[in-house]
Amino acid sequence: MGKTLVAPSILAADFADFGGALASVEASGADWIHLDVMDWHFVPNLTFGPKLAEDLRRRSAFFFDAHLMVENPERAIEAFAPWADAITFHVEATERPRELLLRLRALGKKAGLSLSPATPASALDDFLPYTDIALVMTVNPGWGGQAFIPECLEKIRHLERARAERGLDFVISVDGGINEATASAAIAAGADALVAGSAFFSAQDKAAFVRGIKALG
Ligand code: DX5
Ligand code: ZN
């Protein structure tokens, strides 16, 4: 009980008050803050660049979990590395995931690799030994507030099996459409960390929301 990591996504925050959003995440008892970076190319939406992470870092030593939904993530990795604790990029966005994962570790960062709903979990298999966070997207990347795609649960199970069978050690994070009901299904499938945008920021009592998720597993 209570070992699940909770990572509220700033995507659902008031973009005119990122500092306030960070403070509310920290006060809630959540573990990480999830920073969704979108480039208007890899996904049809645009969010923010590294200056936001830099300015938030000046306020706080909290764990910054950057999720890069960008094409050619090489440059973004270098730009976010000084400010983020974990950086996750998409396997669909680069020809050289292994090299980038190793680069992230060399920079002293947790190295994250993600996949969109249309990508099979086996696309990550070759890279799992170099991965600290495997991020399973359970909505199509681009927007918050979408419905969880239950077919993606099988990918969480695939990763959990691969981890056990190959004696690997990475966090399985699940992102998209997480609320108490879908959190429970994701945890049962093997999720260790849950990203929640709309459900967290729309909760009247954010600490109760985080406790509720942690009470599931
Ligand atoms: C979607 C983002 C998610 C999103 C989750 O492209 O990667 O992190 O913010 O938001 P909800 O929880 O509203 O689905
Ligand atoms: Zn995300």
pLDDT digits (tens, 9 = 90+) for 90-132: 999 999 999 999 999 999 999 999 999 999 999 999 999 999 9
Looking at 146-204, which runs of residues are DSSP E strands? 171-175, 193-196
Distance 168 CA to ligand 1 centre (A): 27
Indicate whether residue 11 lines ligand 1 (CB < 6 A): yes
Distance 128 CA to ligand 2 centre (A): 19
Per annotation, catalytic residue among 31, 36, 39, 132: 36
Closest approach atom of ligand 1 to CA 196: 12
Give the global pTM.
0.98
User: What is the model's pLDDT at position 90?
Assistant: 99
- Chain centre distance of CA 200: 14
Closest approach atom of ligand 1 to CA 137: 7
Please report where in the chains the tokens 């020809």 appear, as a residue: 95
N residues, the chain: 217
Distance 73 CA to ligand 2 centre (A): 15
Longest Cα–Cα distance of the chain, Å, equals 46
Indicate whether residue 67 lines ligand 1 (CB < 6 A): yes
* Residue whose CB lies within 8 A of the most ligand 1 atoms, among 38, 92, 143, for a mutation test: 143
Indicate whether residue 146 lines ligand 1 (CB < 6 A): yes
Active site residue 17: no
Q: Which residues contact 23 (CB under 8 A, 6 or more apart)?
A: none
CA distance 18 to 78: 22
Paired residues of 127 in beta bridges? none
Indicate whether residue 178 lines ligand 1 (CB < 6 A): yes
- Which residues of the chain are under the pLDDT cut of 50? none
The SS3 call for residue 149 is: coil
CA distance 199 to 159: 25
User: What is the model's pLDDT at position 1?
Assistant: 54
Indicate whether residue 177 lines ligand 1 (CB < 6 A): yes
